């Protein structure tokens, strides 16, 4: 039997039927009235989701594309940025910056450790000449399934009265973890379609503050496709400098409706509850959570591969027998951890089933666990 | 009654039901076996459609994105390129190049005039020091609905034994007009999803020849998202440096099947026959074709707005009464022409109806035409 797929990688996430239907609507003229209406709704909805009054800019791109956009639009060769390096995606921003001739001060941590407000404070204190033009880090680092304390870090930047811009990659936390773009003083928040927004990949989204626009004016890096000023000026008349991903906009309007129906804060709570259930089941089965205690992500959980079981075998059993697709470890974590994505369109029943599938698959591969352990732990969290 | 929409702008085009259905398939892991299969099929199919053995690279982007990609990957500041300038999209490549510090020699023509092999020959002859690193132009310039003679121009480059690379924007001609990437010595052919491939926008595609790869090695422009070497190295193991537009790949596999079923050369013939019918009806109705005689595009027709009728009024009548969405003139052609896109998923019956709607709408607005003229001309072409 062809069964439903549980796509539990840390994004792209499962796209709900309502959105899949919207995606298959016949196309419209991206310069016409009908599309203008879609754009108005999209931008209004995104401002609610990002909690911002800043400008929203949209790109036909992956999340990494809009990460690059933030670097080439705000900075110049020779500028200095303070960038976290504790996983593939934080390090990616450092690499992109260096590609464009920018000096990078890395806050390097073991993968699995979070970036703390103290770490940022230390670096800003050292920067007596106020050379650092921006502090850049992800809210959620999917590589190691940790969540950085963005609110705390924002307070450090404010307290030190440092002029640095605050750039936050919210790709794997948007519409899943609490985010207050304006209250936390985030100058550029960088998101994408394929995670909490429950859409397929192909749409990158950034928010741009007044202070960030000033940096844009001073930036000397060349850009055309990513040019914030060109995109803003076109978007003001509900157009784009080039063809936008129209089908994804159909889906976005539907996603915004769904998010409003549930309520953004309820969505944050749901992600927290489901993540606690995943962690409870993990610990109950005698498995080890990879990420630093207190900083475990509520959108993805990284679990240490138990001794004697290898990831490809485990991944195959759980996919073949239970239709659950899990993420492996990336780069140096390959084979050492597995990752369960639990963001976007996901329910208590899904989590109950997924953790059961993890247990049964490990059991089949010889891991010693009493059947029913995961279910007991998961339901314990739900019914407490 | 909500009626079927005839989206007759020069792209995005109407997406057939089979592809719309494919687009709404549940997502898969972009690092898994299932996606590998999809990629193998996609690349095989695209090689057939481009008629090339060169490498195929795919980007989550609009067509303009991959235009930019070809510039930043192959050249360095100070290089000189020979670029056509006879419409928005040819001029766009010149603008992008200048953004990156590249010298541009423009072949400037009135919008509506084609770039001829003689035009290119003249410039290459002047270039005694062989400074020109590449000749860049679109096969089809949608702004003015003309098709440049790419085969003829390729012969000129070969005959002159000039080392210039040959970069051709095939965005609005791919899978519609005859294209022989390898036989015509095209080093980089640049395409996108939303025209002849009958998909929504969001996927950019380039082909890269051996000679182009040598240029990539020498390029000094910084790039990360567009980096051909990084994308190639990942695609060789059926992955991407970042999340690919997975849903569009589902649609692409379906589009490739449809193109194989009809036969690529039959598709070229269909576009030619339908375009001839559009032009015959235009002339029969006493309207004037905007584009240079002999170079009229077979994917889009530009028609001079008849005296006394303005585009917004015409566009509204034909959309409201007949569900046909037409393109207007861009930039300096705004209000002066209208454009009918006839590429991708489009049949004889569609063309018959669309030209009838053009006739009836103009008639309603006071244009003097005998009803039935368009139909007679269109059917005359089909039944000859």
**CATH code, domain with B322:** 3.90.1150.10
Does residue A47 belong to any structural domain of this protein?
Answer: yes
Does residue A1 belong to any structural domain of this protein?
Answer: no
Distance between CA B297 and CA B249 in Å, rounded?
A: 28
Does residue A287 belong to any structural domain of this protein?
Answer: yes
pLDDT at B384 (0 to 100): 86
* A14: nearest CB among B21, B27, B65: B27
Lookup result for tokens 């059926």: B238
DSSP count for chain A of H helices, then E strands: 13, 13
Whether residue B181 is found in the same domain as residue B267? no
Distance between CA A59 and CA B127 in Å, rounded?
A: 39
Whether residue B228 is found in the same domain as residue B279? no
Whether residue A180 is found in the same domain as residue A215? yes
pLDDT at A35 (0 to 100): 95
Does residue B256 belong to any structural domain of this protein?
Answer: yes
State which residues of chain A have pLDDT below 70.
Answer: none
Q: Which of A229, A260, A291 is the last residue of a domain?
A: A260
| Mean pLDDT score, B84-107 | 97
Whether residue B254 is found in the same domain as residue B271? no
Whether residue B290 is found in the same domain as residue B231? no
ipTM for the complex shown: 0.91
| Cβ within 8 Å, pair B13-A7 | no
Distance between CA A310 and CA B78 in Å, rounded?
A: 53
Tell me: pLDDT of B381 over 90: yes
A contacts of B244 (beta carbons < 8 Å): 62, 201
Tell me: pLDDT of B379 over 80: yes
**Number of domains, chain B:** 2
- The CA angle A22-A42-A138, to the nearest 5 degrees, is 105
Does residue B214 belong to any structural domain of this protein?
Answer: yes
Strand order of the β-sheet with A80-85 is A55-60, A203-208, A188-192, A165-169, A132-138, A80-85, A103-108
Q: How many other β-carbons are positioned within 10 Å of the β-carbon of residue B342?
A: 25
Q: Residue B2: pLDDT band by 50, 70, 90 thresholds?
A: confident
What is the sign, positive or negative, of the torsion defined by CA atoms of B96, B97, B98, B101?
positive
| Mean pLDDT score, B85-95 | 97
Q: How many CA atoms lie within 13 A of B81 on its CB side?
A: 30
In this complex, how many residue pairs, one in chain A and one in chain B, have their CB atoms less than 8 Å apart?
162
Q: How many other β-carbons are positioned within 10 Å of the β-carbon of residue A262?
A: 12
| Cβ within 8 Å, pair B62-A28 | no
Task: Tell me the percentage of chain B whose pLDDT exceeds 70.
Answer: 100
Does residue A272 belong to any structural domain of this protein?
Answer: yes
Pair B297, B304: CB distance under 8 Å? no
- A114, A198, A274, A337, B233 from B241: Cα distances, Å: 24, 21, 30, 21, 9
pLDDT at B216 (0 to 100): 98
Whether residue B280 is found in the same domain as residue B320? yes
Does residue B1 belong to any structural domain of this protein?
Answer: no
Distance (Å) from the alpha carbon of B122 to chain A's nearest alpha carbon = 30
With CA atoms as reference, the chain A residue closest to B221 would be A100
pLDDT at A305 (0 to 100): 98
| Mean pLDDT score, B65-93 | 97
Whether residue A269 is found in the same domain as residue A254? no
* A242: nearest CB among B4, B29, B64: B64
| Cβ within 8 Å, pair B325-A28 | yes
- pTM beyond 0.90: the answer is yes
Distance between CA B12 and CA B249 in Å, rounded?
A: 17
Q: How far apart are the first and last CA of chain B?
A: 36
Whether residue A91 is found in the same domain as residue A190? yes
pLDDT at A36 (0 to 100): 96
pLDDT digits (tens, 9 = 90+) for B122-176: 999 999 999 999 999 999 999 999 999 999 999 999 998 899 999 999 999 999 9
Whether residue A280 is found in the same domain as residue A294? yes
Q: Residue B318: pLDDT band by 50, 70, 90 thresholds?
A: very high
Distance between CA B93 and CA B168 in Å, rounded?
A: 11
Q: Which of B217, B232, B260 is the last residue of a domain?
A: B260
B contacts of A10 (beta carbons < 8 Å): none
Does residue B72 belong to any structural domain of this protein?
Answer: yes
Give me the long-range contacts of B102-111 (CB less than 8 A, separation at least 24): B102/B71, B102/B75, B102/B76, B102/B77, B102/B78, B103/B78, B103/B79, B104/B80, B105/B80, B105/B81, B105/B132, B107/B82, B107/B83, B107/B137, B109/B84, B109/B85, B110/B86, B111/B86, B111/B87, B111/B143, B111/B144, B111/B332, B111/B333
CATH number at residue B91: 3.40.640.10
pLDDT at B1 (0 to 100): 75
pLDDT digits (tens, 9 = 90+) for B209-250: 999 999 999 999 999 999 999 999 999 999 999 999 999 999
Whether residue A206 is found in the same domain as residue A270? no
Distance (Å) from the alpha carbon of A319 to chain B's nearest alpha carbon = 11
Q: Which of A225, A260, A295 is the last residue of a domain?
A: A260
- The CA angle B172-B176-B177, to the nearest 5 degrees, is 90
Tell me: pLDDT of B183 over 80: yes
Whether residue A253 is found in the same domain as residue A358? no
SS3 B340: strand
Q: Find how far residue A346's CA is from the centre of its chain.
A: 16
B104 DSSP β-pair partners? B81
pLDDT at A1 (0 to 100): 73
pLDDT at B5 (0 to 100): 87
Distance between CA B317 and CA B314 in Å, rounded?
A: 5
Q: Find how far residue B164's CA is from the centre of its chain.
A: 23
Whether residue A30 is found in the same domain as residue A177? yes
Domain residue limits at B310? 6-12+263-383
pLDDT at A5 (0 to 100): 87
pLDDT digits (tens, 9 = 90+) for A168-190: 999 999 999 999 999 999 999 99
pLDDT at B4 (0 to 100): 82
With CA atoms as reference, the chain A residue closest to B251 would be A24
B contacts of A6 (beta carbons < 8 Å): none
The pair of structure tokens assigned to A148 is 């950085």
């Amino acid at each position: 039997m062809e069964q439903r797929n549980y796509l539990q990688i840390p994004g792209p996430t499962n796209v709900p039927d309502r959105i899949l239907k919207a995606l298959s609507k016949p196309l419209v003229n991206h310069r016409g009235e009908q599309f203008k209406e879609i754009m108005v709704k999209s931008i209004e909805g995104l401002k609610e989701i990002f909690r911002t009054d800043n400008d929203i800019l949209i790109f036909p791109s992956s999340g990494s594309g809009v990460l690059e956009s933030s670097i080439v639009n705000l900075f110049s060769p020779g500028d200095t940025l303070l960038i976290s390096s504790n996983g593939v995606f934080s390090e990616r921003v450092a690499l992109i910056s260096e590609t464009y001739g920018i000096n990078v001060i890395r806050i390097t941590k073991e993968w699995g450790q979070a970036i703390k407000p103290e770490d940022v404070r230390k670096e800003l204190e050292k920067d007596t000449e106020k050379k650092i033009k921006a502090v850049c880090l992800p809210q959620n680092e999917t590589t190691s399934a940790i969540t950085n304390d963005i609110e705390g870090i924002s307070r450090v930047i404010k307290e030190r009265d440092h002029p640095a811009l605050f750039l936050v990659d919210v790709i794997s936390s948007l519409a899943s973890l609490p985010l207050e773009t304006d209250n936390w003083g985030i100058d550029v928040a960088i998101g994408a379609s394929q995670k909490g927004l429950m859409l397929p990949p192909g749409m990158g989204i950034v928010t741009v503050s007044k202070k960030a626009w000033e940096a844009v004016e001073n930036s000397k890096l060349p850009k055309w496709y990513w040019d914030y000023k060109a995109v803003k000026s076109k978007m003001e008349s509900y157009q784009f400098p080039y063809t936008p991903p129209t089908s994804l906009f159909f889906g976005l309007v539907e996603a915004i409706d769904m998010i409003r129906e549930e309520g953004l804060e309820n969505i944050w709570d749901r992600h927290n509850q489901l993540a606690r259930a995943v962690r409870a089941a993990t610990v109950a089965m005698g498995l080890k959570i990879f990420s630093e205690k207190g900083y475990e992500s509520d959108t993805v959980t990284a679990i240490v591969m138990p001794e004697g079981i290898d990831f490809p075998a485990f991944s195959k059993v759980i996919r073949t027998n239970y239709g659950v697709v899990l993420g492996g470890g990336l780069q140096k974590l390959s084979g050492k951890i597995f990752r369960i994505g639990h963001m976007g369109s996901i329910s208590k029943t899904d989590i109950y089933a997924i953790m059961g599938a993890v247990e049964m698959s490990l059991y089949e591969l010889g891991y010693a666990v009493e059947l029913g352990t995961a279910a007991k732990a998961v339901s314990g969290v739900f019914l407490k």
